[in-house]
Amino acid sequence: MQAYQDLMAHQRQTQALAQISGRLGWDQETMMPQGAAAQRAEESAALQTVIHARRTDPCVGDWLAALSGADLPPEAAANIRHIQRDWDKARRLPADLVAALARQTSLSQQAWAQCKTDENVAGFLPFLTDIITLKQQEAAALQTPGQSPYDALIDDYEPMMRADDLAQMFAALRPRLADLRARLKDRSRAPMLQGHFPKAAQLELSQRLALAFGYDLTRGRIDLAVHPFSSGSGTDVRITTRVDEADPFNCLYSTIHEVGHACYEQNIIADYALTPLGQGVSMGVHESQSRIYENQLGRSRAFCNYLYREMTARFGDMGLSGADEFYAAVNALRNGYIRTEADEVQYNLHVLLRFDLERALFEGDLSPADLEAAWNDRFAADFGFAVDRPSHGLLQDVHWSCGLFGYFATYSLGNLYAGSLHKALRAHLPDLDSDLERGHLTGATDWLAQRVQRFGGLKSPHDTITQACGFAPDATHLLDYLEEKFTG
Amino acid sequence: MQAYQDLMAHQRQTQALAQISGRLGWDQETMMPQGAAAQRAEESAALQTVIHARRTDPCVGDWLAALSGADLPPEAAANIRHIQRDWDKARRLPADLVAALARQTSLSQQAWAQCKTDENVAGFLPFLTDIITLKQQEAAALQTPGQSPYDALIDDYEPMMRADDLAQMFAALRPRLADLRARLKDRSRAPMLQGHFPKAAQLELSQRLALAFGYDLTRGRIDLAVHPFSSGSGTDVRITTRVDEADPFNCLYSTIHEVGHACYEQNIIADYALTPLGQGVSMGVHESQSRIYENQLGRSRAFCNYLYREMTARFGDMGLSGADEFYAAVNALRNGYIRTEADEVQYNLHVLLRFDLERALFEGDLSPADLEAAWNDRFAADFGFAVDRPSHGLLQDVHWSCGLFGYFATYSLGNLYAGSLHKALRAHLPDLDSDLERGHLTGATDWLAQRVQRFGGLKSPHDTITQACGFAPDATHLLDYLEEKFTG
């Protein structure tokens, strides 16, 4: 077992360096002086070079070879499975392709930002085409027997998931969501909060909510950032939020969402820290936690009654007639073009659109030149109105300019998982609503911590969710929940 | 010149990693959640291991050998001089000694903190004795021909400085400072500020002062920390300060002091960033900048008039009769035991005491067992009253438990350099006081930036100061300034 000890010691240092890299990213978004950007880019690149060299160090291959076929206890076996997977992937990628992708995504992100401002799809298309070509090369390099090229890209974010399986799960979602959306289309009179919501009071309440949802501030902190995120694993898991003084839901629900991500990291078995098991197992499982905290718990009728009392105590009259209107405001459905601003019903329609387009691009059924038309056709079909400008359509998200093909799907997968976890949670906690009415989340969050979060990377993503639920995740759970919530 | 290019590319990545290490240190003191300490220690250790491996990479030796005797332009030659010096030192230290020192200083710091609380010199003595033994081994390993063991330790903080030269400079200081202190001994009636000084107003004024002294907030930021410090080089140089709502001078002069350090780093020629020239050349030269900002400029009569107006505008009546009393309060001399709380006259007496004791320890003239008696005798001789408890004497500073022998001297060397720079500055800027009266610091700080700071590590520390002044630094400049200020 010397090989295992040596491999894990090496891995532990690599994970520690990766944590530092994450901390630098946090600093960049929250604390870094604006003039430090170029130097920081060089510092981050130096650290990435070190981390990459450690990940592809021939020693790792030697240790893995020495351990091949060894009879290991479950946690050691899971560690080896993760390390072997990373090692194989890192080794399969040619260094010049990695460099070309780094260069081209950097250029493309700048081009995307400018083209989005200019509503200029034609200007962005050459960059997008180059990125897609490089990602096709990456997919070809990474592909294992039985994987499609798109599978190989998805695997980076959702290990062991296949496009066909996603497509099957999502196939059940799209028609019922589109139908539900159409049935709910008269939403012009959805109530809105009125008034001014001072920053300090929003942040105080958002911290209170973070604590109520189980976030441990002795092992984390809350700061402001333009785009809220969660960062870090082990005993240093930080979140950010943002404040709009006209729209307190932005801050409060961003906080609850990021707390879902952060609690997943904080609740992993402590012994797993700085090992491959010491972090959330996939983007989809991560998103299941952030979404169930934010939506199934945070936007529930019972919790909204609690939140209405807390907000009334702080902000006074919000121009609402009572808790019913407050709940309606929290869950207002409105026509919109933008994925990140969408409600629970429409959000997944945005994501499925992207997933299907990506799949067609990487299966050769769609060329980048036809992407805008395909986007706009699909949008009109699912949402019932037309995209009015590229920044509301094809150019709205940064992901593709960064080369993140395969990522979008994990958002809807997370929602689907959240729907199934919520079904299981309600079965286990029949009195949940009376807890939520009082702002008591610990029954629900402890259940998630014990059933999902604590295992970190020990199981596969699918096993993590299935074993937590006691049944296989399925789109009908989410759909039934949405149907009942929005038409019940 | 390929060897030079390769060496510098390697060095640049190492410097980038060292900057990251500095940023982690900043985070630890300002932002890190309390529960993250153990994980952070492991992360920092992993990064230090990487940096150390790069510093002692045999490639560095090969490149240096290839460049040996090469005819290089001045900046390249200075880079090579620094890299050669670091390489030689890193190679001379046995790995087991480095590990033993890391372990023992960690234990000793904990023991020191406890023994200081308990006023227990006997309990600390075994730890101190072990540290001194290890530092003697380190000195023996590092010593070059012509260096004494203590010289070898000083060289870590003040390259190329010798204990004998320091002793000669300091020999002029001690009797005149002790004499000045004795002549000024009736200071029971020194005025003190009265009132409550709200944190927000202190921080607003301290930021205003930071900007006035030339700190560039687009390449830095100000946060709170228990012990103020400056951190980073290049385009990311951050400072910290602290707030005592009963004593605004603590915040304001800590800020000005750290701004002196930070401006030194910010004003180095931009092309030197991430090279050995891209940081302050020594602790002594660094301290000369922080001290001249804080004392010769910040505590000057003219600047105090400006500061009195600014503080009165913010805090109203401070229980003072006017600007004369304000100046007396800023420059109050009081009996005290604690180095870090000492005024301009007494501060160096505290430092010289430590320097002479360290020198005796490392030259074999003093054993650790006799250290407390030697401290207390010396204190009584120089300050005219007796140490009343170990936490006011031998146990007051953390330095020795960290193994920082040779460090204290740089505080007084910096003060001495500041005295000489101030003499030159006054000669070049005869109208300085009328600027300071209006809070206009740019004449003075530009002079320091152009004469001292911009050169970074290009010249030796001594040349840096001598060429800036136009004459050799000498204790009489500081002494004459203090004599005039406090008895004039």
Q: Which residue type, as a one-letter code, is found at position A448?
A: L
| Measured distance CA(B91)–CA(B86) in Å, rounded | 8
- CB B5: neighbour CB atoms within 10 A? 10
How high is the pLDDT of residue A187?
64
Contacts of B115 (CB under 8 A, 6+ apart): B121, B123, B124, B390, B395
Q: Which chain A residue lies closest to B221 (C-alpha atoms)?
A: A33
What is the mean predicted confidence (pLDDT) over A246-271?
Answer: 98
In the numeric block, which tokens belong to residue A409? 């799907």
A236 contacts in chain B (CB < 8 Å): 32-33, 35-36, 39-40
Tell me what pLDDT residue B186 has: 63
Torsion on CA atoms A468, A474, A479, A484, rounded to nearest 10:
-50
Query: B-chain residues within 8 Å CB-CB of A274?
Result: 39, 42
* Beta-carbon separation of A19 and B31 below 8 A: no
Spell out which residues of chain A touch residue B50, defining contact as CB-CB under 8 Å: 13, 17, 50
Question: Residues near A328 by Cβ (< 8 Å), separated by ≥ 6?
Answer: A190, A191
Tell me which chain A residues have a C-beta less than 8 angstroms from the C-beta of B36: 219, 234-236
CA B310 to CA B156: how far, in whole Å? 41
Residue B273 to chain A, least CA–CA distance (Å): 8
Give the pLDDT score at B95.
86
Residues pairing with B238 in the sheet: B231
Minimum CA–CA partner of B13 in chain A: A46
Q: What is d(CA B210, CA B206) in angstroms, rounded to the nearest whole number?
A: 6
Please tell me the distance from the alpha carbon of residue A99 to that of residue B339, in angstroms, as a whole number.
Answer: 54
Among the listed residues A200, A199, A190, A197, the one whose alpha carbon sits nearest the alpha carbon of residue A318: A197
Inter-residue contact B366 to B353 (CB < 8 Å): no
The C-alpha atoms of residue A40 and residue B236 are separated, in whole angstroms, by 8
For the residues B442-463, what does the mean pLDDT come to?
A: 98
pLDDT digits (tens, 9 = 90+) for B273-297: 999 999 999 999 999 999 999 999 9
Could you tell me if B325 and B191 are in contact, meaning their C-beta atoms sit under 8 angstroms apart?
A: yes
End-to-end, the C-alpha distance of chain B in Å comes to 59
| DSSP class per residue in A263-302 | HHHHTS-GGGTTSTTSS-S-HHHHHHHHHIIIIIITTSHH
* Residue A431 pLDDT > 70: yes
**Smallest Cβ distance to B236: which of A20, A32, A274?**
A32
Mean pLDDT for chain A overall:
96
Q: What mean pLDDT value characterizes chain B?
A: 96
How far is Cα A420 from Cα A479, in angstroms, rounded to an integer?
Answer: 10
Tokens read off for B229: 């410090």
Q: Are A351 and A411 in contact (CB under 8 A)?
A: yes
| Residues B42, A236: C-beta atoms closer than 8 Å | no
Q: Chain B: nearest CA to A217, how far in angstroms? A: 7
Per-residue H/E/C for B317-346: CCCCCCHHHHHHHHCCCCCCCCHHHCCHHH
Q: Do B35 and A221 touch (CB under 8 A)?
A: no
Is B258 an active-site residue? Answer: yes
How many Å apart are CA A391 and CA A115, to the nearest integer? 9
CA gap B174, B166 in Å, rounded: 12
Which pLDDT does position B488 carry in this prediction?
A: 77
A-to-B residue pairs, Cβ atoms closer than 8 angstroms: 106
Closest CA to B362 of B168, B125, B143, B115: B143
Encoding tokens for residue A204?
Answer: 């105080």
> In this complex, which of A34, A36, A221 lies closest to B33 when CB atoms are compared?
A221
Distance CA A232, CA B32 (A): 12
Those residues with Cβ within 8 angstroms of residue B261's Cβ, 6 or more apart along the chain or in another chain:
B230, B239, B280, B286, B289, B290
For B50, the closest chain A residue by CA position comes to A50
By the 8 A CB rule, do B292 and B423 touch?
no
| Smallest Cα distance from A27 to chain B, Å | 9
Element at A75 (helix H, strand E): helix A74-92
Which residue from A273, A264, A239, A265 is spatially nearest to A253, judged by alpha carbons?
A239
B13, B45, B218: residue with CB nearest A33 = B218
B108 burial type by CB count under 10 A (0-12 exposed, 13-18 middle, 19+ buried): buried
Selected for mutation to probe chain B from A235, A240, A268, A275 (highest B CB count within 10 Å) is A235
pLDDT surpassing 80 at residue B187: no
* d(C-alpha B379, C-alpha B395), whole Å: 13
Looking up tokens 């030659």 gives B77
Best mutation target, A50, A272, A275, to test chain B (most B CBs within 10 A): A50
Residues A413-428 as b/e (b if ≥16 CB within 10 A, e otherwise) read: bbbbbbbbbbbbbeee
Mean pLDDT for the stretch of residues A443-472:
98
Q: Taking the C-alpha atoms of B474, B476, B477 and B479 in order, what is their torsion angle to the nearest 10 degrees? A: 130
pLDDT tens digits, residue range B334-367? 899 999 999 999 999 999 999 999 999 999 999 9
Task: Starting at the earlier edge strand, list the strands of the sheet with B230-231.
Answer: B222-224, B238-241, B230-231
Give the pairing type, strands A238-241 and A230-231. antiparallel
Domains annotated on chain A, with CATH: 98-191+248-488 (1.10.1370.30)
Q: CA-nearest residue of chain B to A232? A: B36
On the question of pLDDT at A400 being above 90, the answer is yes
- Rounded-to-integer distance, Cα B214 and Cα B294, Å: 13
**Mutate which of B10, B24, B31, B237 to test chain A, going by most A C-beta atoms within 10 A?**
B31
pLDDT at A53: 92
- Cα(A238)–Cα(A123) distance, integer angstroms: 37
Tokens of B429: 């800027």
What is the rounded CA–CA span in Å between residue B162 and residue B471?
20
Q: Residues A158, A258, A358, A372: which is the catalytic one?
A: A258
**Measured between CA atoms, how close is A450 to chain B, in angstroms?**
21
**Closest chain A CA to residue B217:** A33
> Which entry of B138, B258, B358, B372 is annotated as an active-site residue?
B258
Question: Which pLDDT belongs to residue B189?
Answer: 74
Structure tokens at B308: 């009195």
Cβ of A276: how many Cβ atoms within 10 Å? 23
Q: Which of A347, A337, A421, A344 is nearest to A379 (CA)?
A: A337
Q: pLDDT at residue B411 above 90? A: yes
Interface test with A, best of B8, B21, B34, B43 (most A CBs within 10 A): B43
How far CA A408 is from CA of A256, A281, A347, A424, A443, in Å, comes to 21, 17, 11, 25, 31
Distance between A35 CA and the closest CA of chain B, angstroms: 5
Q: Using CA atoms, how far apart are residues A487 and A344, in angstroms rounded to an integer? A: 13
What kind and span of H or E run contains B241? strand B238-241
Does the pLDDT value for residue A186 go beyond 80? no
> Can you read off the two tokens belonging to residue B129?
């004795």
- Residue B216 has, within 13 A of its CA and on its CB side, a CA count of 19
Position A251 scores a pLDDT of 97
- Tens digit of pLDDT for each residue in A16-47? 999 999 999 999 999 999 999 999 999 999 99
| pLDDT of res. B188 | 60
Looking only at the bridges linking them, the beta strands covering A230-231 and B230-231 are unpaired
CA B250 to CA A271: how far, in whole Å?
43
Q: What residue ranges in A218-277 does DSSP mark as E strands?
A: 222-224, 230-231, 238-241
Helix (H, G, I), strand (E, B) or coil at B6: helix
Would you say residue B185 has pLDDT above 90?
no
In A, minimum Cα distance to B9 occurs at: A46
* Cβ contacts of B46 on chain A, cutoff 8 Å: 12-13, 16-17, 20
String of DSSP letters for A300-335: SHHHHHHHHHHHHHHH---S-SSHHHHHHHHT----
- For the stretch A105-150, pLDDT in tens is 989 999 999 999 999 999 999 999 999 999 999 999 999 999 999 9
Beta carbons of A13 and B49 less than 8 Å apart: yes
- pLDDT at res. B77: 97
Strands B230-231 and A238-241: unpaired
Distance CA A158, CA A154 (A): 6
Token pair of B219 as six digits: 């390449």
User: Looking at residue B204, what is its pLDDT?
Assistant: 98
pLDDT of B97-115, one tens digit each?
Answer: 988 998 899 899 999 999 9
Total residues found in chain B within this entry: 488
A218 touching B (Cβ < 8 Å): yes
Tens of pLDDT, residues B20-78 = 999 999 999 999 999 999 999 999 999 999 999 999 999 999 999 999 999 999 999 99
Tokens, residue B465:
């100061």
DSSP A161: -
Is residue B216 over pLDDT 70?
yes
Tell me the chain A residues in contact with residue B23 when contact means C-beta distances shorter than 8 Å: 24, 27, 43
Looking at residue A15, what is its pLDDT? Answer: 97
Two tokens, residue A249: 């839901």
**Confidence grade of residue A184 (pLDDT, cut at 50, 70, 90):** confident
What is the structure's pLDDT at A479? 98
CA–CA distance, B111 with A278 (Å, rounded to integer): 33
First to last CA, chain A: 59
Interface of A with B in 8-47 (CB under 8 A): 12-13, 16-17, 19-20, 23-24, 27, 31-36, 38-40, 42-43, 45-47
Residue B127 C-alpha, separation from nearest chain A C-alpha, in angstroms: 30
